[in-house]
Amino acid sequence: MPLLIKNGEIVTADARYRADILAEGETITRIGVNLEAPAGAEVIDAAGKLVFPGFIDPHVHVYLPFMATFAKDTHATASRAALIGGTTTFIEMCCPSRNDDALEGYELWKSKAEGQSACDYTFHMSVTKFDENTEAQLRQIVADGITSFKVFLSYKNFFGVEDGELYQTLMLARELGVIVTAHCENAELVSRLQGQLLSEGKTGPEWHEKSRPEEVEAEGTNRFATFLETTGARGYVVHLSCEKALRMALAAKERGVDLTVESVIPHFLLDKTYAERPGVEGAKHVMSPPLRDKRNQKALWDALASGMIDTVGTDHCPFDVAQKELGRDNFTQIPNGIPAIEDRVNLLYTYGVSRGRLDIHRFVDAASTKAAKLFGLFPRKGTIAVGSDADLVVFDPTYRGTISAATHHVNNDYSGFEGFEIDGRPVVVTVRGQVAVRDGQFVGDPARGQLLRRTPTGVRAPAPAEPVA
Ligand code: DUC
Ligand code: ZN
Ligand code: ZN
Ligand code: ZN
């Protein structure tokens, strides 16, 4: 059925205007004033509402074996929660461990999502080792349309790569024009600091941040940047959490390293005092990199506003209270993660745009357009234009509400943002021309989501400079 969205105020990364949008089939076919509804069209009146391009979460965990347990969401629950919160596409981390075969892992992750997602999705392919099979396997996965990799410089012996493997991954990525996303923490320092703290009887969640302090992340960020500089590959730092790491990233950008930066919504709004609450209350707020000292939040907001931080994701990763209790006597056993897929857009709009920290176009760019461009989805996704997928968010900026586990749709028994107020939320969300959400409820096709196969976005960088004789 054709869909006509009338009288809304369209807001993209670079424009704001009043117009109607006609979607026929899966795409936008016309944008203009006073468009006539074709026969049989559904007409949605968006007067007084903002109309945004569908938001893209570039960093999500859905299926995730982690610390001898599994994240709680399925693709059904995560995708519905995403859509209710205005996210119409997510990029999931495909994370086989070092002990797994990469190709089998890739097939497993695909099989978990296929036919189960209400919104579109794709993957970043984790490279967790580099053995004699890896290169051929990665070539095959890239040929299948997965044109971004993920490396962990942390999680030693599980997801983490050694420096030599990082080098090999980046060299291959450069050749293939693939962008490499990286979790930047120094694995060795984390493991030494964890051991030291535990030996001193410091076992509660309040010690998690002390085991991964800011300098540990700054070192990882700087090392990743150095490897990018040396190899000429394109890189993307995920979940940058603090000013020290930000300085490393900015210094690299300034000297021309092809590096982009993501921060995730928990780090803008939650600080380490949440993880210092006693017992499981603290454990609910354990993620890595950890929640930081509050002074870092201003640095993140300022860098986001100026575009130094490129994108805002979630690192969505739900573990329930019982799973968080696994680390009751040892903070290193607390599964890491805070769910946020449903709340990212509303929180970023509220505490960014509505509270005057963030220009509305930068908001759209950071939460949608930039990720589409970086990860080979633009202009199909990330904008409102004729020919683009009709993934649209009709947003009511006058709505007032409060985030709570009692009303959320993520498959988890707590919310990391319990009690946070929101100024605005999506009232209608569409997935490729079909209505998926009305008034905060999922009403769509539970299996509408497609795997988005992408082409490499990387221009081959010039070879690293030869030393001058
Ligand atoms: N950090 C988390 O908090 N959860 C999943 C993986 C990660 O790097
Ligand atoms: Zn990570
Ligand atoms: Zn992650
Ligand atoms: Zn509901």
CATH assignment at residue 112: 3.20.20.140
What domain range includes position 71?
54-374
Give the H or E element holding residue 371: helix 370-374
> Same domain for 64 and 48?
no
Copy the structure tokens of residue 74.
């399925």
- Ordered mean pLDDT values, 10 residues apiece, the chain (469 residues): 97 98 98 97 98 99 94 97 98 96 98 98 98 97 98 92 97 97 97 98 98 98 98 98 98 98 98 96 98 98 98 98 96 97 98 98 99 98 98 98 97 97 98 97 98 84 54
First-to-last C-alpha distance (Å) of the chain? 68
> Same domain for 307 and 437?
no
Pick the atom of ligand 1 nearest to 286's CA: 3
> Same domain for 10 and 58?
no
> Same domain for 184 and 209?
yes
394 beta partners: 51, 428
Q: Considering every ligand atom, which ligand is closest to the CA of 408?
A: 4
Question: Is residue 288 within 6 Å of ligand 1 at its C-beta?
Answer: yes
Q: Among 62, 57, 56, which residue's Cα sits nearest to residue 112?
A: 62
The bridge status of strand 148-152 relative to strand 120-126 is: parallel
Question: Is residue 336 within 6 Å of ligand 1 at its C-beta?
Answer: yes
> Same domain for 42 and 93?
no
Question: Is residue 297 within 6 Å of ligand 1 at its C-beta?
Answer: no
Cβ count near 293 (within 10 Å): 14
User: What integer pLDDT is reported at residue 467 of this predicted model?
Assistant: 57
CB–CB of 137/102 below 8 Å?
yes
CB–CB of 77/409 below 8 Å?
yes
- Sequence-distant (6+) residues with CB within 8 A of 82 are 57, 60, 88, 90, 119, 341, 342
Helix (H, G, I), strand (E, B) or coil at 230: helix
CB–CB of 312/238 below 8 Å?
no
Cα–Cα distance measured from residue 466 to residue 469, given in angstroms and rounded to the nearest whole number: 9
CB–CB of 206/281 below 8 Å?
no
Question: Is residue 317 within 6 Å of ligand 1 at its C-beta?
Answer: yes
In a domain, 269, yes or no: yes
Q: Among 20, 8, 12, 117, which residue's Cα sits nearest to residue 54?
A: 12
Pick the atom of ligand 1 nearest to 154's CA: 8
Copy the structure tokens of residue 85.
């919160």
Pick the atom of ligand 1 nearest to 238's CA: 8
Cα–Cα distance measured from residue 396 to residue 269, given in angstroms and rounded to the nearest whole number: 22
> Same domain for 88 and 221?
yes
> Same domain for 148 and 164?
yes
Helix (H, G, I), strand (E, B) or coil at 4: strand
CA atoms lying within 13 Å on the CB side of residue 329:
0
Considering 374, 407, 431, which residue would you say is the last residue of a domain?
374
Q: Considering every ligand atom, which ligand is closest to the CA of 85?
A: 4
CA dihedral defined by 270, 276, 279, 280, rounded to 10 degrees?
Answer: 10
CB–CB of 109/123 below 8 Å?
yes
Ligand 1: residue of 239, 264, 272 to mutate (most ligand atoms within 8 A of CB) is: 239
> Same domain for 105 and 24?
no
- Compute the distance from residue 441 Cα to the ligand 2 centre, in Å: 30
Cβ count near 387 (within 10 Å): 10
- Compute the distance from residue 214 Cα to the ligand 1 centre, in Å: 16
> Same domain for 275 and 287?
yes
In a domain, 414, yes or no: no
Residue indicated by tokens 């090999």: 168
pTM over 0.90: yes
Question: Is residue 220 within 6 Å of ligand 1 at its C-beta?
Answer: no
> Same domain for 36 and 84?
no
The complex's ipTM works out to 0.92
> Same domain for 299 and 392?
no
Q: Considering every ligand atom, which ligand is closest to the CA of 336?
A: 1
CB–CB of 252/240 below 8 Å?
no
Cβ count near 26 (within 10 Å): 17
Pick the atom of ligand 1 nearest to 152's CA: 8
Question: Is residue 98 within 6 Å of ligand 1 at its C-beta?
Answer: no
Q: What is the CATH number of the domain that holds 10?
A: 2.30.40.10
User: What integer pLDDT is reported at residue 266 of this predicted model?
Assistant: 98
- Sequence-distant (6+) residues with CB within 8 A of 178 are 142, 147, 148, 149, 172, 234, 456, 458
User: What integer pLDDT is reported at residue 460 of this predicted model?
Assistant: 52
In a domain, 30, yes or no: yes
At 76, phi and psi to the nearest 5?
-65, -50
- Sequence-distant (6+) residues with CB within 8 A of 174 are 231, 232, 233, 234, 458, 460, 461
- Compute the distance from residue 210 Cα to the ligand 3 centre, in Å: 20
Pick the atom of ligand 1 nearest to 64's CA: 5
Question: Is residue 181 within 6 Å of ligand 1 at its C-beta?
Answer: no
Tally of domains in the chain = 2
In a domain, 28, yes or no: yes
- Compute the distance from residue 204 Cα to the ligand 1 centre, in Å: 18
Q: Distance of CA 129 to CAs 153, 349, 373, Å?
A: 11, 38, 28
Q: Distance of CA 273 to CAs 332, 339, 349, Å?
A: 18, 18, 24
CB–CB of 178/145 below 8 Å?
no
> Same domain for 436 and 361?
no
In a domain, 111, yes or no: yes
Q: Considering every ligand atom, which ligand is closest to the CA of 315?
A: 3
Q: Distance of CA 268 to CAs 263, 282, 342, 445, Å?
A: 8, 18, 16, 33
In a domain, 455, yes or no: no
CB–CB of 379/13 below 8 Å?
no
Ligand 1: residue of 60, 61, 93, 316 to mutate (most ligand atoms within 8 A of CB) is: 61
In a domain, 408, yes or no: no
In a domain, 415, yes or no: no
Buried b (16+ CB within 10 A) or exposed e, 112-146: ebeebbbbbbbbbbbbbbbeeebeebbeebbebeb
**Residues lying with their CB under 5 A of ligand 3, a single-atom ion:** 315
Cα–Cα distance measured from residue 330 to residue 328, given in angstroms and rounded to the nearest whole number: 6
